[in-house]
Amino acid sequence: MAVVLRDVGQYIQGAGELDNLGKFVKKLGNKFLLICSEHNKSRIGDRVEAALASVEKEVVYSEFYNQCTMEAIDTAVAHGTEAGCDVIIGAGGGTAIDTAKAVATLMGGIPCVILPTIASNDAPCAGLSVVYNEEGVVVKVINMLRNPDVVLVDTGIIAQAPKSYLVSGIGDALATYFEARACWRTGARTMARGNCSHTSLTMAKLCYDLLLGHSVKALAAVENKEVNEDLENVVEASIFLSGFGAICGGLAAAHAVNDGLGAIPQIHANGTSHGEKVAFGLLVQLILEKAPQEEWDTVLRFMQTVGLPTTLAELGFKDFVEADLRRAAKIAASPKEFTKNVRADITADEVYDAILAADKAGARQ
Ligand SMILES: [Zn+2]
């Protein structure tokens, strides 16, 4: 199989960059449909409008209620079509971004601009949308014709968001290197429809190194609502490198276990984030891989230092229900999942045992 790389058209990151949006998007079209929540509209709507007005572009606002459902997507498509919009902007966290990507795709692959207001997951740079139903269950994945044309991250805005979002983003990004490495070892096919390349593996390793080296100081910066070099480094890892890695490096057991854990009612009701589940899934993957003790110790210590959950109870699974955990393991080990990218013949029982082993070893001393 060939190696395949696909990436965003332009990636811009820096404090105050939102005000420069116009110069990066002026050639994309003339009428922009802005999909974001009322909350984010009040946070950044005026600045988006002013930046686009400076290059004589018009903005139409499309209301969004924080759920990436087919209904939300269809509503925005109808709105954008009726208003004659030729570019889509998604601003916010994962759901507004995923909705915008789906809308741009369903409107014939028109240009798509992403403005993340939090750094909680790898959605901004990934060329796909995960669509949910009202109950929060994944119903489908819409693949974009190409990755977003512009991803602009104003770190001044990221620094104003609650710290827990960045912790989640760090959790999602922490698995990037190990998942790419698993795909590299087994020759698994990535979502870019090729093998993991030297480039993807190296970028995934860079992602891991930036997180280990800078997360503590980045989180301190966010606590003070300030931007520093450490925050810039961690945002580059959690938004750019993590998204690139998910598509071109490949996913493995960490994300598959996330999908399984999401089906446990107690964890779903707890509101445990994607990044928190992925990070715990990474512990499970390291057990499945029989990773060296030193590597395990580094990852566990790091997770505990930045405040990521390392036990089932910390994920919200406080009352142990064996059937729920068996179902989660079964989902993670199903043939369409990414656990097979660690080893093709991993069974649900093995995943179940690995989850329990991770939970036990993850307990704080
Ligand atoms: Zn992820």
If you measure from the C-alpha of residue 31 to the centroid of ligand 1, how many angstroms do you get, rounded to a whole number? 31
If you measure from the C-alpha of residue 223 to the centroid of ligand 1, how many angstroms do you get, rounded to a whole number? 24
If you measure from the C-alpha of residue 127 to the centroid of ligand 1, how many angstroms do you get, rounded to a whole number? 13
Structure confidence at residue 364 as a pLDDT band (50, 70, 90): confident
Mean pLDDT of 305-312: 98
If you measure from the C-alpha of residue 236 to the centroid of ligand 1, how many angstroms do you get, rounded to a whole number? 15
In contact, 211 and 205? CB cutoff 8 Å? no
If you measure from the C-alpha of residue 52 to the centroid of ligand 1, how many angstroms do you get, rounded to a whole number? 31
Q: How many CB atoms lie within 10 A of CB 123?
A: 28
The pLDDT score that the predictor gives to residue 284 is 98
Max Cα-Cα span within the chain: 60
Task: State the chain's mean pLDDT as an integer.
Answer: 95
pLDDT above 80 (res 1): no
The pLDDT score that the predictor gives to residue 66 is 82
Domains located in the chain, CATH noted: 10-158 (3.40.50.1970), 163-362 (1.20.1090.10)
If you measure from the C-alpha of residue 69 to the centroid of ligand 1, how many angstroms do you get, rounded to a whole number? 18
Q: What is the pLDDT of residues 16-44, one digit of tens each?
A: 999 999 999 999 999 999 999 999 999 99
If you measure from the C-alpha of residue 277 to the centroid of ligand 1, how many angstroms do you get, rounded to a whole number? 9
Query: What span, in angstroms and rounded, lies between the C-alpha atoms of 284 and 288?
Result: 6
Structure confidence at residue 219 as a pLDDT band (50, 70, 90): very high
pLDDT above 90 (res 225): yes
pLDDT above 70 (res 365): no
If you measure from the C-alpha of residue 49 to the centroid of ligand 1, how many angstroms do you get, rounded to a whole number? 30
If you measure from the C-alpha of residue 53 to the centroid of ligand 1, how many angstroms do you get, rounded to a whole number? 34
In contact, 118 and 36? CB cutoff 8 Å? no
If you measure from the C-alpha of residue 226 to the centroid of ligand 1, how many angstroms do you get, rounded to a whole number? 26
If you measure from the C-alpha of residue 74 to the centroid of ligand 1, how many angstroms do you get, rounded to a whole number? 25
Mean pLDDT of 71-85: 96
pLDDT above 90 (res 138): no
The pLDDT score that the predictor gives to residue 67 is 87
Percent above pLDDT 90 for the chain: 92
Percent above pLDDT 70 for the chain: 99
If you measure from the C-alpha of residue 51 to the centroid of ligand 1, how many angstroms do you get, rounded to a whole number? 31
Q: Lowest mean pLDDT of 86-90, 161-165, 168-172, 192-196, name the range.
A: 192-196
If you measure from the C-alpha of residue 4 to the centroid of ligand 1, how many angstroms do you get, rounded to a whole number? 20
Cα torsion 262, 265, 268, 271: sign:
negative
If you measure from the C-alpha of residue 254 to the centroid of ligand 1, how many angstroms do you get, rounded to a whole number? 9
If you measure from the C-alpha of residue 121 to the centroid of ligand 1, how many angstroms do you get, rounded to a whole number? 6
The pLDDT score that the predictor gives to residue 137 is 75
The pLDDT score that the predictor gives to residue 285 is 98
Mean pLDDT of 56-76: 93
If you measure from the C-alpha of residue 188 to the centroid of ligand 1, how many angstroms do you get, rounded to a whole number? 18
Q: Lowest mean pLDDT of 2-11, 131-140, 256-265, 355-364, name the range.
A: 131-140
Query: What span, in angstroms and rounded, lies between the C-alpha atoms of 303 and 197?
Result: 27
> In terms of C-beta distances under 8 Å and separation of at least 24 residues, what long-range contacts does 134-142 make, across chains too?
134/67, 134/69, 136/262, 136/268, 137/263, 138/259, 139/70, 140/70, 142/101, 142/102, 142/105, 142/106
